[in-house]
Structure 1
Amino acid sequence: MIDNVNGVVLGVFVFLFLLVTVLGFAAARWRRADLDSLDEWGLGGRGFGTFIAWFLIGGDIYTAYTFIAVPATLYAGSAVGFFAVPYTIVVYPLIFLFLPRLWSVSHRHGYVTPADFVQGRYDSRGLALAIALTGILATMPYIALQLVGMEVVLQVMGIGTTSDSWFVNHLPLFIAFTVLAAYTYSSGLRAPALIAFVKDTLIYIVIIVAVLYIPSQVGGWDHIFATVTESFDTFNSENADAIAAGEATPKAVMPPDVAQWAYASLALGSALALFMYPHSVTGVLSTRSRSVIRRNAALLPAYSFLLGLLALLGFVAIAAGVKVENPQQSVPQLFEEQFSPWFAGVAFAAIVIGALVPAAIMSIAAANLWTRNVYKAFINRHATHAQEATQSKVVSLLVKFGALVFVLALSKDFAINLQLLGGVWILQTLPAIVIGLYTRWLHRWALLAGWAVGMAYGTWLAYGVSSPVQEHFGGPLVNFPGTETKVYIALIAFLANLLVCVVLTFVFRAMSLDEGVDQTHPQDFHADMGDAGVDRELSPETAPHA
């Protein structure tokens, strides 16, 4: 299972991994509270301030996707690989507008999940169930991406790559998975909140050193871009026939005209989807006040700068002569070849810890959806706080097993597809959540029908995409209907969803179908800490629960 592992690299890696494991379990004693309450276990007591929230939400958003999938896309020559940079810039003005409203209404009514809000707003357990199940489904490939990030680091280190046994080769991943599951179960949201401090510190150190040191060792940025351009041109000329036949994809540094809509739609679709994910909402609802959210929306773009630098490491790996069959291994391999053993150990630990933090938050968020919108809504409507917390703890383990299915069933050569596949699904919840924060004009049954159409159409489109390494779910782009223009599947499905919602709303209103009772009031969307009903959230025994 271990082949040619550098002892120094392994020692530093194990030390830092054990450090965050200890922190994960110790988090149960941090800001001590009753973790048999969902407000405490699943939302950290709803009391995180700007400093903690910045690390938590940043650790939640900037994941192994950042370290592994984005640079790997550039290493592989995808001309649209930089889409992640503009989308993480576009997203913050969007969340500045709608997330404070979601925080206010959730704190006023004790909502734990976005599906709680949908049920209260539209008086529809069925629609809330659809939102909850979508959140759980979309989260699993995102968790899977974190597990892929861990696995490729272990492979580059030489752990779990030489045995003929499938189980032995995946054993290190299972061990990391078990540790993650254990401290998440024990400490809830406090664990990733505490570990995020270590994670972000390590990541900033590694990236700053990488973008300053490694380019100087391979000839500077001019040489890097010249080498990358020459490499891509050589590939395109040698594979001209295959490219013309559609059997290979041309490589480019900048998107050509035909790929610009693909680039723009990936950026926009991903931006719209990012804070629909339940783990993003969980991080936001754990904050102390509306002002914390606004301040974080202003401060979090600092991570976008980091992401841009990190993405360029895909090009640096090409210039440095890194040769790997799996593009996901390009950045870890670059670190191993260019850094001293002790700092390579730090870099590998940063990537793995960078996967553990969001994976923990994601599993907690998915578990909260199950507990509030399936278990309590349909199985035990009189569940106590302790029963809710127990359900979430158990389901947080099951969600991670679901993520393992994605890891083992789908190709990992382009792990970014895992995140983009989740985006196709989660974007279909936007009409019910975001539009619902401003107006209740869309009919609840029209929203449910639109969701069903968007989910079915988006999944069908994604299933039909093949790639050289995967027959189905092989990529995020298809031709926009009636054109030859490649567009992100999530946006096409979302437009179909929205069209159905609007048309059927007119139909259902004309039929005078029951619209249900809205449990929210206009002033709820502007409530802040200290207002009636809001300051009681930190006391789970008295907090209102929808």
Structure 2
Amino acid sequence: MNPIALGVFLLIFLIVTAMGFLAVRWHPAADEHTLDEWGLGGRSFGTWVTWFLLGGDLYTAYIFVAVPGAVYAGGWPGFFAIAYSTLVYPLAFTFLPRLWSVSRRHGYVTTADFVRGRFGSRALSLAVALTGMLATMPFVALQLVGLRAVLDVLGIGGGSGASPFVRDLPLLTAFGVLAAFTLSSGLRAPALISVVKDTLIYVVVVVAIVYIPLRLGGFTHVFAEVRQTFARVDPKTGTPRGALVPEGQGYWTYATVVLGSALALFAYPHAATATLSSQSREVIRRNTTILPLYSLLMGMLALLGFTAVAAGVKTSSPQTAVPQLFENVFPAWFAGVALAAIGVAALVPAAVMSIAAANLFTRNVYREFVKRDATARQETRVSKTVSLLVKAGALVFVLTLDDTVAVNYQLLAGIWILQTVPALVGGLFTRSLHRWALLTGWAVGMVYGTVTAYGVTSPAQGHFGGNAARIPGIGATGYIGLTAFALNVLVTLVLTTVFRAAGAPEGTDETEPSDYTADRCDPAGRATRRP
């Protein structure tokens, strides 16, 4: 344990915690007991706050440790995150402004709210809500995995000689802090903290990408060391440790994972929550043009995986490679700053994700099927309770399962959330898809994706040992989620034709074409446009 690094880490953590509790006083509303206020920050965030919130929401602590960790462990697979984050923003530019406009017009809080209003189907809305909650849980857990990696490097977590309670006490404490300021301040807390989080991360990454290679003799030396290391044969598997570029069928795997991840990213509930908290359609459009700056940041992060290889970092888990690199190379005080940046990067997305999952349950399960006449105050109280349960479930997930297994379950999240894209994104542009066909396509994609992923085994993890399998009809190995999505779309298109021909009843569409292009809404909720 380095006392200076630990002291700096704790000081920043305390400052961020205080900001989380004080955020409730940031632009307070007349009535905080509504989901619009607690769960969406009053739908009042401007361009820069939204930029920081979306960045803090999508570029998480696990991205901070997993992307360079994957590069450290195997080379080219870790770079898929940079590729898909580059592709995702042109896609988001086309549909997120439409989602904001129609949601603001009708008061939608979740993506399942929109699906319910667009297709008039409670069953389809429930499917989208349950899938969103299911896909969010592993993501919350993985923020805690990233936080535990930092605590382990600091020497205050993970000690093998301690009792389980003592070993996990720092993580339990961090969980308590996260739960407390989320209950108190709602979405305003992660929005305010994300400004500090992103500033810290940019400073740390820019310093690291300059300072560490200079310490190691420059990038020429770094890549020379990486080539030598990756050429060595792993004594356990008999194969080279890694490669700088894909080989053979690896191109199929890489391309399909990139495309599938790009399609899935903004379908996650936490991405929609951050989007709907914005004050205008133009804020969303601006953000999809400046958020690619985070892709540049991820490129730098990926290169830190190579610097960890060149620096001779030895660790039992790739997830701790970069935190351990910071501990080994930086002065103690800056190592504390760097590790605090990762720790804070866990709190922001975990808070937003738990709020998003709670809003889905409250609006699309509790209000729709349990208490149709729930008041705004009752909705907020239920959402606060469920957000706490989501974080508690994620904590149990982390404490009881091996971290590597948690990663494999997280890969399922992408497979699952992709099955909601036809209803969500398709519904934003067309009403031609039949609600029953969408529900059947969703079910087929969920079953196929889950069963196929379950069948992918590895000697270390058993079932759910990966996210790629043979693509039917092609034979190459590709991302299971994209294959399941293609099957989902095919079933939806075919059954739409069948149901229409059979005269199956359509649901009631409560939206109008003008709802999808409105810039903002007047006090009465009517859609308006700027001249």
Q: Same fold (TM over 0.5)?
A: yes
Per-residue deviation, 1:74: 0.8
In structure 1, the partner of 2:48 is 51
Per-residue deviation, 1:328: 0.5
Question: Does the Cα contact within 8 Å between 2:232 and 2:241 map onto a contact in 1?
Answer: no
Per-residue deviation, 1:532: 7.2
Per-residue deviation, 1:264: 0.9
Q: Say which SS state the counterpart of residue 267 (structure 2) adopts.
A: coil
Correspondence 1:371 to 2:362: yes
1:311-390 superposed matches below 5 A: 311-390=302-381
CA distance in 1, matches of 2:249, 2:223: 22
1:47-446 superposed matches below 5 A: 47-162=44-159, 163-235=161-233, 242-243=237-238, 251-413=242-404, 416-446=407-437
Equivalenced residue count is 526
CA distance in 1, matches of 2:517, 2:372: 29
459-468 or 410-419, which deviates more:
410-419
160-169 or 410-419, which deviates more:
410-419
Q: Say which SS state the counterpart of residue 478 (structure 1) adopts.
A: strand
Question: Does the Cα contact within 8 Å between 1:115 and 1:128 map onto a contact in 2?
Answer: yes
Give the direction of change, closer, same or farther, for the CA distance of 1:12–1:170 in structure 2 (3 Å limit).
same
Please list the CA deviations of residues 3-45 of structure 1 after superposition, one character each: whole Å capped at 9, or x if unmatched.
Answer: xx11111111111111111100100111112221110000000
Per-residue deviation, 1:409: 4.8
Per-residue deviation, 1:254: 1.0
Give the direction of change, closer, same or farther, for the CA distance of 1:455–1:405 in structure 2 (3 Å limit).
farther
In structure 1, the partner of 2:19 is 23
Per-residue deviation, 1:418: 4.5
CA distance in 2, matches of 1:133, 1:118: 13
In structure 1, the partner of 2:9 is 13
Pick from 440, 463, 468: which aligns with 1:477? 468
Give the TM-score taking structure 2 as reference length. 0.96
Question: Does the Cα contact within 8 Å between 1:108 and 1:533 map onto a contact in 2?
Answer: no
Per-residue deviation, 1:86: 1.1
Give the direction of change, closer, same or farther, for the CA distance of 1:79–1:415 in structure 2 (3 Å limit).
farther
Per-residue deviation, 1:280: 0.2
Correspondence 1:503 to 2:503: no
Question: Does the Cα contact within 8 Å between 1:49 and 1:288 map onto a contact in 2?
Answer: yes
Please list the CA deviations of residues 107-150 of structure 1 after superposition, one character each: whole Å capped at 9, or x if unmatched.
Answer: 00000000000000011111101100100000010111101000
Per-residue deviation, 1:251: 1.4
343-352 or 502-511, which deviates more:
502-511
Give the direction of change, closer, same or farther, for the CA distance of 1:534–1:57 in structure 2 (3 Å limit).
farther
Question: Does the Cα contact within 8 Å between 1:327 and 1:414 map onto a contact in 2?
Answer: no
Per-residue deviation, 1:483: 4.3
Question: Does the Cα contact within 8 Å between 2:105 and 2:527 map onto a contact in 1?
Answer: no
Aligned residue type for 1:112: V
Per-residue deviation, 1:78: 4.3
CA distance in 2, matches of 1:135, 1:325: 33
Please list the CA deviations of residues 223-250 of structure 1 after superposition, one character each: whole Å capped at 9, or x if unmatched.
Answer: 11111111111126x56xx45xxxx675
Q: Say which SS state the counterpart of residue 478 (structure 2) adopts.
A: strand
Per-residue deviation, 1:211: 0.3
Question: Does the Cα contact within 8 Å between 2:405 and 2:461 map onto a contact in 1?
Answer: no
Aligned residue type for 2:21: F
Give the direction of change, closer, same or farther, for the CA distance of 1:514–1:314 in structure 2 (3 Å limit).
same
Aligned residue type for 2:93: F
Please list the CA deviations of residues 277-317 of structure 1 after superposition, one character each: whole Å capped at 9, or x if unmatched.
Answer: 00000000000111000100000001100000001111100
Unaligned runs of 5+ in 1: 538-546
Per-residue deviation, 1:494: 0.6
Aligned residue type for 2:11: F
CA distance in 1, matches of 2:446, 2:166: 37
Per-residue deviation, 1:461: 1.4
Q: Say which SS state the counterpart of residue 517 (structure 1) adopts.
A: coil
Per-residue deviation, 1:414: 7.3
Aligned residue type for 1:204: Y
Give the TM-score taking structure 1 as reference length. 0.94
Per-residue deviation, 1:80: 1.8
Per-residue deviation, 1:510: 1.6
Give the direction of change, closer, same or farther, for the CA distance of 1:468–1:215 in structure 2 (3 Å limit).
farther
Question: Does the Cα contact within 8 Å between 1:80 and 1:262 map onto a contact in 2?
Answer: no
CA distance in 2, matches of 1:198, 1:156: 22
Question: Does the Cα contact within 8 Å between 2:39 and 2:359 map onto a contact in 1?
Answer: yes
Unaligned runs of 5+ in 2: none
CA distance in 1, matches of 2:265, 2:347: 19
Per-residue deviation, 1:511: 1.5
CA distance in 2, matches of 1:100, 1:446: 26
CA distance in 2, matches of 1:61, 1:350: 15
Q: Say which SS state the counterpart of residue 469 (structure 2) adopts.
A: strand
Aligned residue type for 2:169: L
Question: Does the Cα contact within 8 Å between 2:73 and 2:241 map onto a contact in 1?
Answer: no
Give the direction of change, closer, same or farther, for the CA distance of 1:535–1:67 in structure 2 (3 Å limit).
farther
Aligned residue type for 1:307: M
CA distance in 2, matches of 1:153, 1:364: 24
**Aligned CA-pair RMSD:** 1.7
In structure 2, the partner of 1:543 is none
Question: Does the Cα contact within 8 Å between 1:276 and 1:426 map onto a contact in 2?
Answer: yes
Per-residue deviation, 1:535: 7.4
Which segments of structure 1 move beyond 3 Å, counting only runs of 4 or more? 408-411, 413-419, 530-537
Aligned residue type for 2:423: A
Per-residue deviation, 1:164: 4.0
CA distance in 2, matches of 1:17, 1:90: 34
Please list the CA deviations of residues 208-234 of structure 1 after superposition, one character each: whole Å capped at 9, or x if unmatched.
Answer: 110000011111101111111111111
CA distance in 2, matches of 1:177, 1:432: 34
Question: Does the Cα contact within 8 Å between 1:138 and 1:422 map onto a contact in 2?
Answer: yes
CA distance in 2, matches of 1:405, 1:493: 29
250-259 or 16-25, which deviates more:
250-259
Question: Does the Cα contact within 8 Å between 2:229 and 2:241 map onto a contact in 1?
Answer: no
CA distance in 2, matches of 1:88, 1:475: 21
CA distance in 2, matches of 1:312, 1:419: 23
CA distance in 1, matches of 2:405, 2:212: 24
Question: Does the Cα contact within 8 Å between 2:448 and 2:484 map onto a contact in 1?
Answer: yes
